[in-house]
Every structure is written in structure tokens, then in C-alpha cells.
């Protein structure tokens, strides 16, 4: 049977593949990688926290972000299966590490159904980072804050 023939039920196939067991990606992308995800109660510091709003902070690090000219900020490209975003912005992480950026946003989503989130950084229509994927499970605690 040729390699281009479709697979058929009941046939036996011999496959060859190689596994890499490493602490890091064996074939890294040239894009910046997601290095951290943090969550908290949404809203603005020093103000009462609104009910049902969750704050996300997602950090990226990598060569494409190291090359950004001073004063240039990448765009956070967000999408969600439901809910709405507010207070969206990007900033360099103030740790002195070149190419370490974070995107921050608040998500407002009613109900308890899971929410699928996507985020990547881009500049001038070109992606700078890999795409962060996250499934958020809203929970309403007795205090009224999301957990």
C-alpha cells in the first residue's frame, strides 16, 4: 500500500516518529512565548471592585519584543467566546529584562459557563507572540467577587 493511500479500518500501519523529552520547546518558534498568566479581581486599583469582572495579566518574552523601539507598544489582540473586555493595555514589565512585556485586561462575563479566551501581541499587522489560549470558568463566591 502506498504512502498516499487513505487509511482503512482493519489495516496495519507502521509509523516512525521521534519524541523529545526536554524542559523546554525543542523547536522554538521565532515568536515571543507566553511565560506567565495571572488573575485577580477586575476594576481599577483604589476603587470598589465590580461584581463579575476578572482581571487577567499575561506575560510574554522573546526576541520580537526585544526589537521594539523605545516608546512603541505592541497591540493586544483579544477574542472571547462570550463576554466583553475593558481596560486593555500592554506595557513592558518593569524588571529590566529586554523583551519582557505584559498584556492586561478585564473580562466581564455573566453566568457560569466556561469562557474561551485568545490573546496574542502584534505590531503593524504582524504577530510578535504566540497565541495564548485559556478557558476561564467563572465562579460567583458568596462575597460577590469572582474567584
The larger pLDDT score, comparing residue 45 to residue 61, is at 61
**pLDDT number for residue 110:** 86
Per-residue pLDDT tens over the stretch 15-26 = 999 888 878 878
Q: What is the mean pLDDT of the chain?
A: 90
**pLDDT number for residue 28:** 83
Q: Find the length of the chain.
A: 147
Distance CA 65, CA 98 (A): 8
Check pLDDT > 70 for residue 86: yes
Please name every residue paired with 104 in a beta bridge, in sequence order, or none if there are none.
57, 89
Distance CA 78, CA 122 (A): 11
Q: Give the contacts of 76 (CB within 8 A, at least 6 positions apart).
A: 88, 89, 90, 103, 105, 119, 121
In the DSSP assignment, the letter for residue 145 is S
Q: What is the average pLDDT across 72-88?
A: 97
- The helix or strand, by DSSP H or E, that contains position 64, with its residue range, turns out to be helix 63-66
Check pLDDT > 50 for residue 81: yes
Which pLDDT band holds residue 53 (cuts at 50, 70, 90)? Answer: very high
- How, if at all, do strands 115-123 and 75-80 pair? antiparallel
**pLDDT number for residue 25:** 79
Check pLDDT > 90 for residue 77: yes
Q: What is the average pLDDT across 108-132?
A: 96
In the DSSP assignment, the letter for residue 51 is T
Q: Give the contacts of 40 (CB within 8 A, at least 6 positions apart).
A: 54, 55, 57
pTM above 0.75, yes or no: yes
Name all domains of the chain by residue range, CATH numbers in brackets.
Answer: 33-44+51-136 (2.60.40.10)
SS3 120: strand
| Lowest pLDDT segment from 45-54, 66-75, 86-95 | 45-54
Amino acid at each position: 500500500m502506498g504512502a498516499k493511500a487513505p487509511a482503512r479500518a482493519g489495516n496495519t500501519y507502521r509509523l516512525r516518529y521521534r519524541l523529545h523529552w526536554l524542559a523546554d520547546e525543542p523547536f522554538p518558534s521565532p515568536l515571543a512565548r507566553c511565560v506567565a498568566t495571572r488573575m485577580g479581581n477586575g476594576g481599577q486599583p483604589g476603587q470598589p471592585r465590580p461584581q463579575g469582572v476578572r482581571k487577567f495579566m499575561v506575560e510574554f518574552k522573546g526576541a520580537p519584543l526585544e526589537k521594539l523601539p523605545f516608546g512603541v507598544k505592541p497591540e493586544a489582540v483579544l477574542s472571547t467566546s462570550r463576554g466583553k473586555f475593558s481596560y486593555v493595555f500592554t506595557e513592558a514589565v518593569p524588571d529590566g529584562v529586554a523583551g519582557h512585556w505584559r498584556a492586561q485586561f478585564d473580562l466581564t462575563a455573566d453566568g457560569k459557563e466556561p469562557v474561551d479566551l485568545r490573546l496574542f501581541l502584534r505590531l503593524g499587522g504582524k504577530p510578535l507572540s504566540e497565541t495564548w489560549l485559556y478557558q476561564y470558568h467563572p465562579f460567583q463566591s458568596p462575597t460577590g467577587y469572582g474567584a
